[in-house]
Amino acid sequence: MSHLDIDNIPSTPGKYKPDKSFRFNSSTVFSLSKLTIYFPLFLCFLLILLLLSTPSSTPSPRRHLSSGTHRSPISLPHKLIHKSARPRLTTGHTVLVTGAAGFVGTHVSLALKRRGDGVLGLDNFNHYYDPALKRARQKLLEKAGVYIVDADINDKDLLQQLFDAVLFTHVMHLAAQAGVRYAMQNPGSYIHSNIAGFVNLLEVAKSTNPQPAIIWASSSSVYGLNSKVPFSEKDRTDQPASLYAATKKASEEIAHTYNHIYGLSITGLRFFTVYGPWGRPDMAYFFFTRDILKGKTIAIYESPDKGSVARDFTYIDDIVKGCLGALDTAKKSTGSGGKKKGPAQLRIFNLGNTSPVPVSKLVSLLEKNLKVKAKKKVMPLPRNGDVEFTHANISLAARELGYKPTTDLEAGLKKFVRWYLGFYLGSKKSS
């Protein structure tokens, strides 16, 4: 994980010159050989002092001009990029998908490419979870003709190069630091990806001419401690229960700002517990499957009042349809050259399944599909970010995007388990 303070390295004081008034007193016996030893040492000492005393906040025009160039410049494979980004249909879109090697990113990229849109992927392949799984997804995308640029959304120079090379009609921004509990270990990575990275992307997008429309992944976690169910888009979202949720909420406000000032068309999608083939190993359904197969005891959480923890599990194919629906109904951005020309579209949608399922039910469905009995241990839900209950009201997405989930947890888990066994245990061929 790269660090936030990478740009706070004090600028090199290039102006240092040895003081000319420095003179030796003739009475001092200084042999030339001693001087050649001590003078460089003295210089080093002074340089270190200067470096330490330079306040990192001092604005340095030189540093600003060269900001970003300290990262090794990547020479882009233009042929591959253009081939990947070119729509097959004349009516097709040209879409940049960030987080393309991620779970949702892979499925959305495949769906767009299949229907004739041009797709260029971007992913930094970080090690938050097994990068081998991300590389396997990348292979899948390569076969489908989707190329992934291996880079970070925080790399402004590279993003600029991509936007210079390809005229994107849409950006499907799915890159993020996910996970609720990991924020306690690595809070900086949430700020880096979800806030700094998002702003970086919006900065480049708003200056592009014409500006693309942005569709991005928010999260159901913004509802936080809200207890009014089902969760509707207008409900309060000012009580996040995790730093992850707080960064997604902040991003929703940042989206408002860029829409308001620059005329960017922006659509946020609040995903509710997405699961399915090629899913994320940090999610319960995934590691329960792994642990049940290993004979390891799994922890099932219950709420403080002994109630069951429930999730509105949403199957990946339904989420993909919601993403494509959002992209197809996105209006054009109105700004150009970084200037707003008129009001632009700003939307937020729940993408859930409207049927919360207790985690105990999830486990019994996994047992059935795996034909293995789970070793269970019931524990109180730790207060480290997870909420007890999620339940989406999807009537807005239904009306505006034609969103209509069709896969229930039973059918979806069956597909997941089939994929899992094929991918990790080589049984049958996974699709």
Ligand X SMILES: *[C@@H]1O[C@H](CO)[C@@H](O)[C@H](O)[C@H]1NC(C)=O
Which one of 396, 418, 423, 430 is in contact with ligand X (CB under 6 A)? 396
**Smaller CB distance to ligand X: residue 370 or 396?**
396
DSSP per-residue letters across 234-283? TS-----SSHHHHHHHHHHHHHHHHHHHH---EEEEEE--EE-TT--TTS
Nearer residue to ligand X within complex by CB, 204 or 394? 394
Residue 395 binds to ligand X (criterion: CB under 6 A):
yes
**Per rule CB under 6 A, is residue 393 in the interface with ligand X?**
yes
Closest approach of Cβ 312 to ligand X, in Å? Answer: 14
Site for ligand X contains 230 (CB under 6 A): yes
Asked if 345 and 331 count as a contact pair (C-beta separation under 8 A), the reply is: yes
Strand partners, 119: 95
Q: Min. distance of Cβ 230 from ligand X in angstroms?
A: 6
Nearer to ligand X by Cβ, of 242 and 393: the residue is 393
Q: 208, exposed or middle or buried, with CB in 10 Å at 0-12, 13-18, 19+?
A: buried
* Number of residues binding to ligand X, judged by CB under 6 A: 5
Q: Considering Cα of 60, then 66, then 71, then 72, what sign does the dihedral take?
A: negative
Q: Shortest Cβ distance from residue 253 to ligand X (Å)?
A: 20
> Which residue number, 102 or 268, has a Cβ lying nearer to ligand X?
268
Closer residue to ligand X, CB minimum distance, 296 or 399: 399
One of 182, 244, 262, 275 is an active-site residue; which one? Answer: 244
CB of 252 to ligand X, least distance (A): 17
Query: In terms of Cα–Cα distance, which of 91, 95, 82, 325 is closest to 213?
Result: 95
Peptide bond into 212 cis (omega under 30): no
What are the angstrom distances between the C-alpha of 271 and each of 217, 260, 308, 323, 352? 7, 24, 21, 10, 6
| Cα 412 to Cα 404: distance, rounded to the nearest angstrom | 15
Tokens of 332: 């054009």
Nearer to ligand X, 126 or 395 (CB): 395
Tokens 């996040």: give the residue.
Answer: 240
The nearest distance, CB 392 to ligand X, in angstroms, is 9
- Residue nearer to ligand X on the CB measure, 157 or 400: 400
Whether omega before 210 lies within 30 degrees of 0, making that bond cis, reads yes
Backbone angles phi, psi at 345, to 5 degrees: -70, 135
Q: Which residues pair with 231 in a beta bridge?
A: 392
Q: Which of 207, 232, 345, 354: binder of ligand X (CB under 6 A)?
A: 232
Determine the interface stretch with ligand X among 53-61, 140-148, 389-397, 412-420 (rule: CB under 6 A). 389-397
CB 199 within 8 A of CB 329: no
| Of 38-46, 54-62, 318-326, 391-399: span binding ligand X (CB under 6 A) | 391-399
Q: Which run of H or E residues covers position 147? A: strand 147-150
- Please give the Cα distance from 328 to 78 (Å, whole number): 27
Residue 270 CB, shortest distance to ligand X, in Å, is 13
Q: Which of residues 42-101 bind ligand X (CB under 6 A)?
A: none
**Beta pairing partners, 297:** 375
**Choices 40-48, 340-348, 368-376, 390-398 (CB under 6 A): range interacting with ligand X:** 390-398
Find out whether 221 and 245 touch, Cβ atoms under 8 Å: yes
Cβ-based burial of 286 (10 A; exposed 0-12, middle 13-18, buried ≥19): middle
- Closest distance to ligand X from the beta carbon of 235 (Å): 8
> Which residue lies nearer to ligand X by CB, 339 or 399?
399
Give the nearest distance from C-beta 403 to ligand X in angstroms: 12
* Burial class of residue 419, CB neighbours in 10 A (0-12, 13-18, 19+): middle
Annotated active-site residue 244? The verdict is: yes
Question: Which residues sit at the interface with ligand X, rule CB under 6 A?
Answer: 230, 232, 393, 395-396
| Catalytic residue list | 244
